[in-house]
Structure 1
């Protein structure tokens, strides 16, 4: 080790406080980078494990493959496991007490399938040959015939063909096809007889839709016994999951003479691997990652740079003395680099450990909440990958290098005399410290002193302002980023706001049955909804921007300057209507009018464009309260008929329970039951009635409704889908708001570090002011004005830069989503208040410590 490096180490030891502040700054920065990388990896790991637990593990699906094709898929280098499966079909469940599930649904797996898919054995064992089956325990609860291990089943297995299915076979995602009177509109065809032995009982599979008409039975498919014409589905677990899997799957399909349409992907699981074959979505992910990483790195650089910049400023005399005894520019520059290397060697390992420990503690406390509130079977665990740690280390080293480069370059250029006199840091010319006379007239001499101090110590002033600007940009950018993520997530979901939908035969509602259902123990909320389909013509000026773009491409949609819109008219029961009206801030009595129909128009639509795949949020209609719409219907001759006019009583973007979003040229309209009855009385129109329920135990509630054995009820249980949506939004909220909290803490630490160190370096200056008669009151006023100047200058630069970054994030999101750019005014207000509060607090804290200093000792002090 050369003499300059030895002196640098000695200087670090002697100036323990400054060294400690710098080390803490680097530790915080490294911890932030590690925490962000770990949070991202851990949440993706949780979502992957949860998806596998719910729906099984596979990546690519090849449909209807024969024996030779299976062999080729197995021999493929990237195939780790190949799950063979086949849907045999449906058979009548004799003694079924659930009119909506009259079938067995028979599915086959090979031995890999029983391991890769979530099949939970309750008793017995799993099938080992084609003549053995396991049955769902839900069958015993819904059939008056007792099935047990050892029983022999002889089934007539066939395809479900519905009257409206155009001859196509129906699957498990298709509910039982019935008419308004409850008559079944489907039959089993192409039936073959099979005999099975029950060898086990399994829990009802999580991947079986609750509305499916068949209870699951699983048998064994033996590829060695497949006939030459038999085909199965091959679900492949890959050795390497990367972007090339899409092209590789197509190449393999071409080799084995399989059409592209026969390839499927486990999109949900692959999404958590960071993979998608959607180019728009890929562009969004990459650009967002680039923007947010740039924000994090800039924040880290600013935090560490300020620490080193202040360190070099404080060491200027030390570097000057080195120069005076013969140290070269390169040696002075290397002295700063060496200091950065020493601090990095100490700080990076501690920072990585701190980041991991902090995330581990956070996960420990939130796991119970996530597990209990969302019924997630998997736990959030700290997932550490070599790549995430390597990225944190590389970025941290790069950050320290960038942070030390500018101070090192500046230190190498300063001459020995200037460094000792500190003439480069402190400007004493009249021009440099000149202030406006208006400042003294408006705020007094203390404000002028404060402004001159900032100008005199320009580099420290700029370092503090820069720190504040970065903090503002960090907070607003990350806040907007998190809001955009939540917004995009909500747009991509289908907005289900209920657990169970109960449909009634015809348009009548038996309120006695409704009371029986809503009084069930687990029901927490309900809403009776009646729907009617109508249409209206909207002026071109009133349609959405997105619709105008389509009209420009196809003028045939215009008729007399108007465009036809579908109306989904929904009537709520009085109790639900009152709650909804209160929620959107209107009096429900506004909707009751004996002379004319009044309705609430949902003026915002969210939908996925069928052509571009984008998720779009747009204005449904540009209109005002008090305007009227003509309500039209279609008669039996497909001619449009005038029904009535409706006055718009309110405009809102809030949807009541049971009303889903519509898209394109469509409107959601909410009216009272009386208004709907008026329409039904005037014209030959039909409505459809639904009861929507929220419940703490959807499966139990469904069973209780079925136990009522009321005819004409159709139950649609969507709790699994809703649970997945809420799970995604909640986990994203935990991640994003945790990120905001982390960024806020980093920003506050950054500001306090910069200001407190800057104030500490001005002890002699403050002592001089006190020695010439400045009172404590005057000193406080000067400090307060300095705080105001810091805050105003940082906001002047920080807000425009933040808005630019937010707009870039918005433009990035527009690759996949479409919604208006709106400034987060509440976040901006928080930032303005927080900047002045934090700066004021930091200045007050630092100046309080300076006040305790003895004037004579401070004047004599050469260094800290």
Structure 2
């Protein structure tokens, strides 16, 4: 070790406080980078495991493939593992649930039994084609329960819609109209099977599906000529090319149906949606840039202040013959020493912090969401190398400018300490209004700020970075939640109860069930309205210009979802909007939902737009939709004219937003019943929320009312809420971390800057400045720092927000709006933090001896 490096280490030891502050700053920066990288990897690992637990591990599904096509898939270089499957429906004799009349046979080979989530509660899984395992819920819905060992003779086939002649799946509920079944079983094959086990109801069976799951066995080796199977493939290498490769394989071998496990592949970072990929990569780049800039700012300030403090030390080295290179390398060596100490501690702190967060968050996730998987601390070499590389790069960038500056310090300048303070008249000149309005103390404070320009800029830079960090991450959080809400189905209820003849009596009965927390009865019907072209939103106008849609007599035909809500629920909804319920009594006034989100089929974007550019007080004339016997739409019949009483984006429970080109109109049920709708032209449903939706569904079905159908969407919505909650927890945790780092950055910069001004403060006290005047000067300095930081920080933050909005715009299109509450919060907090940091620093030095402070060189 050369003499320069030895002197540098000794200087670090002598200035323990400054060295410790710098080391802590680097540790915080490294911990942040490590925590973010580990959090991302661990979160994706959780989502991968949860998705596999729910729907099995597979990447590509080839549907209805023949024996020759199976061989082609098996020999493909991209195929790692194959699972064979088939399915079909048979009539469930003695079913007590009119809306679940089928057994749904889902057959897997031996690998499929292991790869897909199937839980055996009694007996075992089938091992031959003549064996099956039934779902436990079947036992509660048949006249005579089945037992293990029972033999069944069933006819298995495909569900086919009678009118459309299309195949139906488990995602399609039983097709009926006024009690008449609109589907049949086709391609029937007789099978004799023996029950060998009972399984828990699979998570992948929708509550509204018409068939109870039965697990069967399929063997590729025994399939007959002409039979087809579904093949689930896990690929050998997860890369974006797998989408094109699978499509090419299908085209080459004449395979008609190809489906990808999009949810699982997305968690691996793969998607066949170019817009979504652009969104993910651009957002990741912006966030990493914000983190990197924040880290550089934090460490740079520590090194910049270090060089200012070491000016005389570097001047001494220069006076005894140190070259520019040696002085520059002195700062680089200091950075290396601090990095060697800080990076390992930062890595451990980041990993430990995230691990501790997981310990606290796992019970919350498990209890609130009832998911089976837990967050695990996933440490990958790639994430550690990334954290170390970014940290080393950050330290190098942070020390480069101070090192270059150190190399230029001459012995005379260093000893006179003229490199920081520039006493040029025009640079410290202040307006005469400053003294008149704020007083002498404010003028002295402003001159001090201008005189110590580099320290002042370092402090303002720290504040600006803190503002940008906080507002950027806050906007990112809001944008991500907005995107998730747009891409998920909006539903505010757990159960939908449908059937003929439902009325307020039924509503009262269901409302009194033990777990039910809220109910609403809605009568709905379809109508149409012709709207003037100047009231159309931009999205519709574009489609009209492109020729995708057309006007009729200079008006656009809107399809209207007319919703009549029971009076009590409607009055509560109106009050939420600030309207008294009696406004709608005895007249034709309505609430219009004027905003919707939809997925554009051509671009693949999720778009949020206005449904209509109308104003309160405008009238909408509704017409009844009429069809001929050949199902051709006829000219509409006048129904009623409604005045718009309110325009809102708030949707009441049970109501779905109409898509583009449609309107959702909300009226009281009493008004709805005055309209000329026949029983066939409207439908009635009761919507309910429940503390235990599954138990509530069972209680309703136990009433054995064959006219009632219960749709339980709780499980579907639970997964959507799980995504939003998990994202919110981690992103708000990230905001907290960013906020703490920003506060630490500001306190570090200001307290160190104040410590370096001990001589200056001692001089002011020596010429008669009172403690009151001194505190007043410091308060005004705080205002100058905060005001200047906001003047730069807010425009930069808005620019970053716009960049994020454009990144999200590749996939999610909605209007840009500023987070005013976050901006107001930031303004208040900046002044509080600056004031607190100033006050903390002043308290530490206010009792210092004037003579000692004038002689003191280092903190």
Taking structure 1 as the reference length, the TM-score comes to: 0.97
Alpha-carbon distance between aligned partners in 2 of 1:228 and 1:11, rounded to the nearest angstrom: 85
Query: What are the within-5 Å matches in structure 2 for residues 533-548 of structure 1?
Result: 533-548=526-541
Q: Could you tell me which residue of structure 2 aligns to residue 616 of structure 1?
A: 607
Q: Could you tell me which residue of structure 2 aligns to residue 78 of structure 1?
A: 78
Say if 2:206 is the partner of 1:213: no
Residue 688 of structure 1 aligns to a residue whose secondary structure is strand
Deviations 1:429-451 (A, max 9, x none): 32332211111111111111111
Q: How big is the shift at 1:684?
A: 9.4
Deviations 1:512-548 (A, max 9, x none): 3333323222212211111111111222222111111
Alpha-carbon distance between aligned partners in 2 of 1:82 and 1:174, rounded to the nearest angstrom: 27
Q: Could you tell me which residue of structure 2 aligns to residue 97 of structure 1?
A: 96
Alpha-carbon distance between aligned partners in 2 of 1:235 and 1:450, rounded to the nearest angstrom: 72
Deviations 1:60-84 (A, max 9, x none): 1112222333233334343332111
Alpha-carbon distance between aligned partners in 2 of 1:811 and 1:510, rounded to the nearest angstrom: 48
**Bigger Cα displacement from structure 2, 355-364 vs 481-490:** 355-364
**Bigger Cα displacement from structure 2, 65-74 vs 304-313:** 65-74
Alpha-carbon distance between aligned partners in 2 of 1:143 and 1:561, rounded to the nearest angstrom: 58
Q: Could you tell me which residue of structure 2 aligns to residue 641 of structure 1?
A: 637
Alpha-carbon distance between aligned partners in 2 of 1:710 and 1:198, rounded to the nearest angstrom: 30
Say if 2:572 is the partner of 1:579: yes
- The counterpart of 2:824, out of the listed 804, 808, 829, is 829
Cα pair 1:536 1:565 within 8 Å, conserved: yes
Alpha-carbon distance between aligned partners in 2 of 1:15 and 1:47, rounded to the nearest angstrom: 48
Alpha-carbon distance between aligned partners in 1 of 2:681 and 2:108, rounded to the nearest angstrom: 46
Query: What are the within-5 Å matches in structure 2 for residues 537-686 of structure 1?
Result: 537-554=530-547, 557-592=550-585, 594=586, 596-637=587-628, 638-680=634-676, 686=681
Cα pair 2:60 2:246 within 8 Å, conserved: yes
Q: How big is the shift at 1:555?
A: 8.4
Q: Could you tell me which residue of structure 2 aligns to residue 807 of structure 1?
A: 802
Deviations 1:608-646 (A, max 9, x none): 112222111111112221111111123345112222210
Say if 2:176 is the partner of 1:178: yes
Residue 107 of structure 2 aligns to a residue whose secondary structure is strand
Q: How big is the shift at 1:163?
A: 2.3
Alpha-carbon distance between aligned partners in 2 of 1:126 and 1:2, rounded to the nearest angstrom: 74
Q: Could you tell me which residue of structure 1 aligns to residue 126 of structure 2?
A: 127
Alpha-carbon distance between aligned partners in 1 of 2:307 and 2:555, rounded to the nearest angstrom: 70
Q: Could you tell me which residue of structure 2 aligns to residue 151 of structure 1?
A: 150
Cα pair 1:680 1:686 within 8 Å, conserved: no
Residue 514 of structure 1 aligns to a residue whose secondary structure is helix
Structure 1, unmatched stretches of 5+, are none
Say if 2:69 is the partner of 1:51: no
Residue 676 of structure 2 aligns to a residue whose secondary structure is helix
Q: Could you tell me which residue of structure 1 aligns to residue 761 of structure 2?
A: 766
Residue 654 of structure 2 aligns to a residue whose secondary structure is coil
Residue 680 of structure 1 aligns to a residue whose secondary structure is coil
Residue 43 of structure 1 aligns to a residue whose secondary structure is helix
Alpha-carbon distance between aligned partners in 1 of 2:195 and 2:142, rounded to the nearest angstrom: 16
Q: Could you tell me which residue of structure 1 aligns to residue 345 of structure 2?
A: 350
Say if 2:197 is the partner of 1:200: yes
Alpha-carbon distance between aligned partners in 1 of 2:180 and 2:788, rounded to the nearest angstrom: 75
Query: What are the within-5 Å matches in structure 2 for residues 727-746 of structure 1?
Result: 727-746=722-741
Residue 228 of structure 1 aligns to a residue whose secondary structure is coil
Cα pair 1:615 1:816 within 8 Å, conserved: yes
Q: How big is the shift at 1:18?
A: 0.4
Find runs of 4+ consecutive structure 1 residues off by over 6 angstroms.
none
Q: Could you tell me which residue of structure 2 aligns to residue 26 of structure 1?
A: 26
Q: Could you tell me which residue of structure 2 aligns to residue 17 of structure 1?
A: 17
Q: Could you tell me which residue of structure 1 aligns to residue 68 of structure 2?
A: 68
Query: What are the within-5 Å matches in structure 2 for residues 29-44 of structure 1?
Result: 29-44=29-44
Alpha-carbon distance between aligned partners in 2 of 1:114 and 1:371, rounded to the nearest angstrom: 26
Alpha-carbon distance between aligned partners in 2 of 1:185 and 1:636, rounded to the nearest angstrom: 20
Q: Could you tell me which residue of structure 1 aligns to residue 108 of structure 2?
A: 109
Q: How big is the shift at 1:811?
A: 0.8
Residue 108 of structure 1 aligns to a residue whose secondary structure is strand
Alpha-carbon distance between aligned partners in 1 of 2:499 and 2:196, rounded to the nearest angstrom: 40
Cα pair 1:607 1:662 within 8 Å, conserved: no
Q: How big is the shift at 1:160?
A: 2.2
Q: Could you tell me which residue of structure 2 aligns to residue 518 of structure 1?
A: 511
Cα pair 1:598 1:675 within 8 Å, conserved: no
**Bigger Cα displacement from structure 2, 757-766 vs 215-224:** 215-224
**Bigger Cα displacement from structure 2, 246-255 vs 335-344:** 246-255
Deviations 1:113-139 (A, max 9, x none): 111111001111111111111111111
Q: How big is the shift at 1:556?
A: 6.1
Residue 741 of structure 1 aligns to a residue whose secondary structure is helix
TM-aligned CA distance change 1:177 to 1:556, over 3 Å: closer
Q: How big is the shift at 1:741?
A: 1.0
Alpha-carbon distance between aligned partners in 1 of 2:16 and 2:148, rounded to the nearest angstrom: 76
Alpha-carbon distance between aligned partners in 2 of 1:262 and 1:322, rounded to the nearest angstrom: 76
Alpha-carbon distance between aligned partners in 2 of 1:402 and 1:187, rounded to the nearest angstrom: 71
Q: Could you tell me which residue of structure 1 aligns to residue 241 of structure 2?
A: 244
Q: How big is the shift at 1:54?
A: 1.1
Q: How big is the shift at 1:559?
A: 3.2
In angstroms, what is the RMSD of aligned CA positions? Answer: 1.5
Alpha-carbon distance between aligned partners in 2 of 1:809 and 1:171, rounded to the nearest angstrom: 39
Aligned length: 854
Alpha-carbon distance between aligned partners in 2 of 1:662 and 1:328, rounded to the nearest angstrom: 75
Alpha-carbon distance between aligned partners in 1 of 2:532 and 2:405, rounded to the nearest angstrom: 66
Q: Could you tell me which residue of structure 2 aligns to residue 187 of structure 1?
A: 184
Deviations 1:158-197 (A, max 9, x none): 2223323x222322112112221x2323222322211112
Alpha-carbon distance between aligned partners in 1 of 2:549 and 2:48, rounded to the nearest angstrom: 47
Q: Could you tell me which residue of structure 1 aligns to residue 7 of structure 2?
A: 7
**Bigger Cα displacement from structure 2, 51-60 vs 635-644:** 635-644
Cα pair 1:679 1:685 within 8 Å, conserved: no
Deviations 1:647-687 (A, max 9, x none): 11111110000111222111111101121112137x89832
Alpha-carbon distance between aligned partners in 1 of 2:351 and 2:210, rounded to the nearest angstrom: 48
Alpha-carbon distance between aligned partners in 2 of 1:556 and 1:488, rounded to the nearest angstrom: 27
Alpha-carbon distance between aligned partners in 2 of 1:481 and 1:809, rounded to the nearest angstrom: 7
Residue 601 of structure 1 aligns to a residue whose secondary structure is strand
Q: How big is the shift at 1:731?
A: 0.9
Say if 2:790 is the partner of 1:795: yes
Q: Could you tell me which residue of structure 1 aligns to residue 497 of structure 2?
A: 502
Q: Could you tell me which residue of structure 2 aligns to residue 408 of structure 1?
A: 403
Alpha-carbon distance between aligned partners in 2 of 1:863 and 1:198, rounded to the nearest angstrom: 85
Say if 2:220 is the partner of 1:223: yes
Alpha-carbon distance between aligned partners in 2 of 1:258 and 1:478, rounded to the nearest angstrom: 48
Deviations 1:275-334 (A, max 9, x none): 110011111111111111111100110001011110111111111111111111111111
TM-aligned CA distance change 1:276 to 1:35, over 3 Å: same
Taking structure 2 as the reference length, the TM-score comes to: 0.97
Cα pair 1:26 1:347 within 8 Å, conserved: yes
**Bigger Cα displacement from structure 2, 182-191 vs 854-863:** 182-191
Cα pair 1:455 1:461 within 8 Å, conserved: yes
TM-aligned CA distance change 1:209 to 1:799, over 3 Å: same
Q: How big is the shift at 1:247?
A: 2.3
Deviations 1:745-803 (A, max 9, x none): 11111101000000011011101100110000000000000000001100111111111
Cα pair 2:97 2:706 within 8 Å, conserved: no
Alpha-carbon distance between aligned partners in 2 of 1:250 and 1:512, rounded to the nearest angstrom: 55
Residue 432 of structure 1 aligns to a residue whose secondary structure is helix
Alpha-carbon distance between aligned partners in 1 of 2:38 and 2:647, rounded to the nearest angstrom: 44
Q: Could you tell me which residue of structure 1 aligns to residue 631 of structure 2?
A: none
Residue 674 of structure 2 aligns to a residue whose secondary structure is helix
Cα pair 1:91 1:156 within 8 Å, conserved: yes
Cα pair 1:367 1:380 within 8 Å, conserved: yes
TM-aligned CA distance change 1:2 to 1:251, over 3 Å: farther
TM-aligned CA distance change 1:190 to 1:252, over 3 Å: closer
